[in-house]
Amino acid sequence: MTHAGHDGMLQRCRTGRFPAHGLAVVMSMVTANLSGSSLDVDFMVRPVRRALARDLMLRSSARALLAFLLGVAVIVAVARLSPWQPPLPGTPLGWTLAYLAAVVVCTAAKVASTWPSAISAIRRTDQVFCLKDRLITAYEFRGATSEIHELQRAEAQRCLGGTNLAEAARMRLPLIEATLVVISGLLVAGAFWLPNTHATSHDASADTSAIRHAAATTSQVLKNLPRPAGQKAGPSEAPTADPVAQILAGLQKQLASAPSTTAALKSLSSAQSQLQNLQASGQAASAALQAMSQALSSGPTKPLAQALQSGNIAATQKAAQGLASQLAKMSAAQRADVASALERAANNAPSSLTQDLRQAAFSLSDDDLRAASQALASAAKQLAQQETQANSRAEASRIASQVQQIQSDLANSVTASPSNNDNKALSTPQNQPAVAQSAGTPGAGPTQIGQAGQQAQAAGTETNGQQSAAVASAASAQGTAGASAATSNGATGASASSKAGASSPSSASQSRGSSAVPGAGAGKSNANQNGRGSGATGSSGSGEKGQQQTVFVPSTRLSGPGVTQTGPLGSVVAVGSPAYKQLIARYGAAATAGLGNIALPPSLQAAVKRYFNDLQR
């Protein structure tokens, strides 16, 4: 019976008329009691008592829910609008659970204390059916035997007949309470829409910590850079002449002032680009020096050629000075040889050297020893710069791998934060092709990646998320001079034998395009703890059966015969086969070991193994 219905019935009671519409099916228990004078009122009103209990439970639950929702709304609002930190004890979830427990306990106690008794049910029945306290009187005087008490009980029984006692209790939640519950629910939902300063601050602090770590690592790398003789080592002192150091110093400053992880990652990417450019320029310089060395490798210029090949700046300068000093002692034929060699070298030299070398050659031809000496001295200076550039290539490669590691570490810490939406975009989705920051060591030339799908994209593709090793660029030698096993478990460029400046066998790989080698580059890069950025699914290998592709990996210069071959990326120099076999074995071993650490489907794992087996043949 609704509240309105109850009031209407009471109004009819006041007029003295018994509610006609309240008569319903006669309860069997009522008819059973009609015969005797004994009136078991308690038994008869049990349906009312049960209904009252249900009503009490319903209303209490609604009120408890209302109280809980309001409390949760307050807790969520506090947690959202202010960072949850001391002196507030516990966590918002802990407070919510404690509040829930308190609400439950209080509600249970309230329900227990107000559990409807027989008397309350009887009174309720009297009220609803306008029985004018007949039932309660009959119940209280149930033991009396006087005439009037008997008459009273009989009259109560008579009046009770034909009523549906279950209507005596309100069965429906009042509208106002239901409305308040809905409003409270909306308040809770609204509280969750409030800006989450807690998570933001937590993430901000986490991001700040990660950025600081990246900056500290960069500072350490800068500190560990080899210094020129006589320069004191120190974290704040960078060899100003060293371009790598300048890049690192700039990166350090940017990381120190990075407002967010995104900015920090961008700074790292920028530094990597600069290092790559440095690598490229160093590679070009190295190639030029190599060509010059070849041109000067005979006759009186042989010492100079050897010095150029060694890469020792001092030796090169000394050789150049020695050559200049020996010009006066040479015969005309020798001078002519020197002039010819210098002319040839000038043809292969960088533009900055060409003029000096040609001038030297021309002066020698004119027997102008003084001019020739001056030209040679000038050329020696230029040669020193070229050697510096060439030497910086290796360093740039090594530093680039370290910067890449810093970048991937920072990206990992970003993707580990669930609410850092800004950085979600930075993480590599699962189905993207292998993204590898390949800091391939430029040795004999740029990395030529076979037609293993989209490896070319992998090489040098810069991502700020999870870095997955472009295994397939198999050839993407990372980190150090060609000795890096490109396979990594998310950590990019974990090089097996990376040593700064080490001259190690360059990595050359040969990928044979075959249909059995899908997604060559991909393989292993899952890396992320939560599986994100597993990017390195790589692209399906598009190799054709039987077609052979040659992949060259830039590396440090090696002695020995080599073959110059023009590839799609320009001139390259192949490296020696023995070094390749050693390196590819390492690649294969690292790839196989890495397979156990990432979640690749078995088919892809088999493809990776097959790939490396083919490479090693």
* Residues lying near another protein in the complex (CB under 8 A): 123, 127, 132-134, 136-138, 140-141, 144, 146-149, 151-152, 155-156
Task: Tell me the two tokens of residue 412.
Answer: 């990992």
Q: Cα 361 to the chain's mean position, in Å?
A: 59
Rounded to a whole number of angstroms, the minimum distance from the CB of residue 146 to another protein is 7
Residue 571's DSSP bridge partners are 566
Task: Considering the complex, state which of residue 156 and residue 579 has its C-beta at the smaller distance from another protein.
Answer: 156
Task: Considering the complex, state which of residue 142 and residue 609 has its C-beta at the smaller distance from another protein.
Answer: 142
Do residues 472 and 440 make contact, with C-beta atoms less than 8 angstroms apart? no
Rounded to a whole number of angstroms, the minimum distance from the CB of residue 67 to another protein is 26
Angle, nearest 10°, between helix axes 261-295 and 302-310?
160
Task: Considering the complex, state which of residue 36 and residue 531 has its C-beta at the smaller distance from another protein.
Answer: 36
Rounded to a whole number of angstroms, the minimum distance from the CB of residue 135 to another protein is 9
Rounded to a whole number of angstroms, the minimum distance from the CB of residue 174 to another protein is 17
Helix (H) or strand (E) holding 564: strand 564-567
Rounded to a whole number of angstroms, the minimum distance from the CB of residue 127 to another protein is 7
Task: Considering the complex, state which of residue 1 and residue 338 has its C-beta at the smaller distance from another protein.
Answer: 1
Rounded to a whole number of angstroms, the minimum distance from the CB of residue 132 to another protein is 4
Burial 14-26 (b: 16+ CB within 10 A, else e): eeeebbeebeeee
Rounded to a whole number of angstroms, the minimum distance from the CB of residue 15 to another protein is 11
State the Rg of the chain over Cα: 44
Task: Considering the complex, state which of residue 127 and residue 495 has its C-beta at the smaller distance from another protein.
Answer: 127
Task: Tell me the two tokens of residue 193.
Answer: 């829409």
Task: Considering the complex, state which of residue 84 and residue 139 has its C-beta at the smaller distance from another protein.
Answer: 139
Query: CA 493, CA 436: separation in Å to the nearest integer?
Result: 8
Task: Considering the complex, state which of residue 155 and residue 422 has its C-beta at the smaller distance from another protein.
Answer: 155
Rounded to a whole number of angstroms, the minimum distance from the CB of residue 150 to another protein is 9
Task: Considering the complex, state which of residue 149 and residue 581 has its C-beta at the smaller distance from another protein.
Answer: 149
Task: Considering the complex, state which of residue 138 and residue 483 has its C-beta at the smaller distance from another protein.
Answer: 138
Q: Answer whether the bond into residue 446 is a cis peptide, omega within 30°.
A: no
Task: Considering the complex, state which of residue 155 and residue 343 has its C-beta at the smaller distance from another protein.
Answer: 155
Do residues 81 and 195 make contact, with C-beta atoms less than 8 angstroms apart? yes
Rounded to a whole number of angstroms, the minimum distance from the CB of residue 108 to another protein is 28
Rounded to a whole number of angstroms, the minimum distance from the CB of residue 140 to another protein is 5
- Mapped onto helix, strand or coil, the DSSP state of residue 124 is helix
Helix (H) or strand (E) holding 570: strand 570-573
Do residues 294 and 348 make contact, with C-beta atoms less than 8 angstroms apart? yes
Query: CA 13, CA 63: separation in Å to the nearest integer?
Result: 31
Rounded to a whole number of angstroms, the minimum distance from the CB of residue 141 to another protein is 5
Task: Tell me the two tokens of residue 101.
Answer: 């427990």
Task: Considering the complex, state which of residue 117 and residue 419 has its C-beta at the smaller distance from another protein.
Answer: 117
Do residues 295 and 347 make contact, with C-beta atoms less than 8 angstroms apart? yes
User: Concatenated DSSP letters for 462-514?
Assistant: --SS------GGGG---SSSS-B----SSSTT-BTT--TT---PPP---PPP-
Query: CA 404, CA 414: separation in Å to the nearest integer?
Result: 15
- Residue 298 CA: distances (Å) to CA of 44, 125, 340, 342: 125, 123, 11, 11
Task: Considering the complex, state which of residue 80 and residue 134 has its C-beta at the smaller distance from another protein.
Answer: 134
Query: CA 109, CA 111: separation in Å to the nearest integer?
Result: 5
Burial 470-503 (b: 16+ CB within 10 A, else e): bbbbbbbbbbbbbbbbbbbbbbbbbbbbbebeeb
Which phi and psi (to 5°) does residue 19 adopt? Answer: -65, 115
- Mapped onto helix, strand or coil, the DSSP state of residue 337 is helix
Task: Considering the complex, state which of residue 139 and residue 552 has its C-beta at the smaller distance from another protein.
Answer: 139
Task: Tell me the helix, strand and coil percentages in the chain, rounded to 5.
Answer: 60, 0, 40
Residue 567's DSSP bridge partners are 570
Rounded to a whole number of angstroms, the minimum distance from the CB of residue 162 to another protein is 18
Rounded to a whole number of angstroms, the minimum distance from the CB of residue 148 to another protein is 5
